[in-house]
Structure 1
């Protein structure tokens, strides 16, 4: 079970193998997850019951921090707190 404080976070670092890390806000992270989910021919079983890709992406954001796209290729996302410089 994920920590409820994570749901209060507005920023995420997203990691894709072979690419530089990206910092995204919550809406951008949901869209990023949706774009990955759209690449599946069929969603993983735990997401297949969701009524839409958007709902599946929200479920992932609330309950997980990684998704195996194919064997040996896993994307990851983590809630982060960004602070203004000088704080």
Structure 2
């Protein structure tokens, strides 16, 4: 049986072009993804059309993707990390 620690999300490392890595909480990453999804001209992945709200779309992205193509050579990547205390 898998250890429950495998499913803990303490934080995310977020990578963007020309920026240093960022450490975001799950809520901060979700808000960042929501802003991107709501931005004008951004074409959401077809798979997200089945969700009725931006909250659900952002949550699905967080849990099922690790990279989002923002067009014109721009991207957003994120990786879950566990912080030791």
The unaligned stretches of length 5 or more in structure 2 are none
Give CA-to-partner distance per residue, 1:58-87, whole Å, 9 cap, x none.
001110100001042111000012234xxx
Contact map agreement 1:12 1:29 (CA 8 A) in 2: yes
**Structure 1 vs Structure 2 CA RMSD:** 2.0
Whole-Å separation in 2 of the counterparts to 1:5 and 1:72: 35
Match of 1:24 in 2: 24
The change in CA–CA distance for 1:48 and 1:37 in structure 2 (over 3 A counts) is: same
Query: Which position in structure 2 is the counterpart of 1:45?
Result: 46
Unaligned runs of 5+ in 1: none
TM-score normalised by length of structure 1: 0.79
Change (3 A) 1:54 1:6: farther
Q: CA deviation at 1:44?
A: 2.0
Give the number of equivalent residue pairs.
81
Please name the residue that 2:77 is paired with.
76
TM-score, normalization by structure 2: 0.80
The question of whether the paired residues in 1 share the 8 Å contact of 2:70 and 2:76 is answered with: yes
Distance 1:72 1:29, change over 3 A: same
1:64 aligns with 2:65: yes
Kindly indicate whether the alpha-carbon contact (under 8 Å) linking 1:65 and 1:77 is maintained by their aligned counterparts in 2: yes
